[in-house]
Amino acid sequence: MQKSISIITFLLIFTIALTSCNLPNQETPTSQVDLLNTAAAQTIQAQQTQIAQATDVPPQEATPTATLPAQDDTEVPTQPSATPTITPTPTQQVKCDQAAFVSETIPDGTTYSQGQAFTKTWTLRNNGSCTWNANYHVVFFGGNAMGAPAAKQLTTGTVAPGESVTISLELQAPNVAGTHRGDFKLRNAGGIIFGIGAKDSPFWVEISIPGNAYDFATNYCAPGVKWTSGAGELPCPGTSGADKGWARLINEPQLENMGIDDEPGLQVHPQKVNDGWIRGTYPEISLTGDTVFKTIVGCYGSANCDVNFKLLARVNGGSEQTLGTWHEVQDGKFNRVEVDLSSLAGKRVQFILLVEANGSSADDLVLWFAPRIEPD
């Protein structure tokens, strides 16, 4: 660029020099040097302006070349307007086997005495995609089974998705004071165990047993309790009038003074033979601290009984020992019994309720009223 400017400047100077030589000799208002400088400056300014204009022009985007459609009879579709792209939300797959809790009986923390029998019921809904059938089972999962079977058939029919099923288990309170819980789940036909919700949680029973509380009357037919006579093992509950003897729970028994009480009692009768007997053997329980056995014994109502009531015990699996004996005949009175058991604290004890006839037992209908163990 500088070389071009120099050449142009030289040509201008040369031209002016030639011109000056042909002009008449006269005085000029401006010197030739000034004219030359002015012309050169204008030329340089013009060149710089061209350069600056070329530099300041913003770059132009290339115009895309339109592609002509093929020359045939096919109609070119109109380009649709842009629409937002919607990404579909993935649908969560429902598990084949899944249960949901609906309701239950026996709230957590319900109090029972040691060895007491009870029935727990749950209602569960089939929240999965598979139908439950007779090949599904309720299974013990952990904790204290409380006498429940390892597995029990869930249903004899079918439970379709969305339907509910009721589950009942016959249970027995442990023979140890404290809080006890048993967990259960379901098992499908393939042996897969599942529970409630996405985490397959168990459903459970949780009960509380006060220290040393035990009710012989309400537990008289509990699992592990056995009633026998000289004729062998007896059904429980027994049948009134049976020759082999019987034991029955009476919710409002009649005492020997003909009074009616609102607490349950055990009506028992020995085997109907001379010197017949009947005994109830209870499961072993643990005793802690000072405890006492309490009951009322006597003939049942107006029965003309003549018997001996006995409280027996096996301590830590040893031989039987007699803790108390009470002779009862019909005299219109009843006998309040209280036996101190504090010497058995910390030991495992199996109690036995025994009634022995003195001679004929034809009319030996008798009553253990509210027999129990409680803290002293």
Of 55 and 331, which is predicted with more confidence?
A: 331
**CA 48/CA 60 separation, integer angstroms:** 23
Of 31 and 139, which is predicted with more confidence?
A: 139
User: Is the confidence at residue 128, as pLDDT, over 60?
Assistant: yes
CATH 2.60.120.200 applies to domain 226-375: yes
User: How is residue 144 annotated by DSSP?
Assistant: -
Residues of each domain in the chain carrying CATH 2.60.40.10: 99-210
Residues of each domain in the chain carrying CATH 2.60.120.200: 226-375
* Token pair recorded at residue 323: 């803790």
**CA 282/CA 266 separation, integer angstroms:** 14
Superfamily of domain 99-210 in the CATH hierarchy: Immunoglobulins (2.60.40.10)
User: Is the confidence at residue 219, as pLDDT, over 60?
Assistant: yes
Give 115: exposed, middle or buried? Use CB within 10 Å, 0-12, 13-18, 19+.
buried
8 Å CB contact between 205 and 182: yes
User: Is the confidence at residue 66, as pLDDT, over 70?
Assistant: no
Q: Cα 153 vs. chain centroid, distance in angstroms? A: 20
Average the pLDDT over 95-109 and give the result. 96
- Closest alpha carbon to 308 in 342, 268, 347, 338: 268
- On average, the pLDDT of the chain sits at 82
Of 27-31, 201-205, 237-241, 334-338, minimum mean pLDDT range: 27-31
* Token pair recorded at residue 294: 């309490």
User: How is residue 116 annotated by DSSP?
Assistant: -
Of 18-32, 195-209, 218-232, 239-253, minimum mean pLDDT range: 18-32
Residue 167 backbone phi and psi in degrees, to 5: -120, 125
Residue 14 backbone phi and psi in degrees, to 5: -60, -45
For the chain, what percent of residues have pLDDT higher than 90?
63
Q: pTM of the entire structure?
A: 0.57
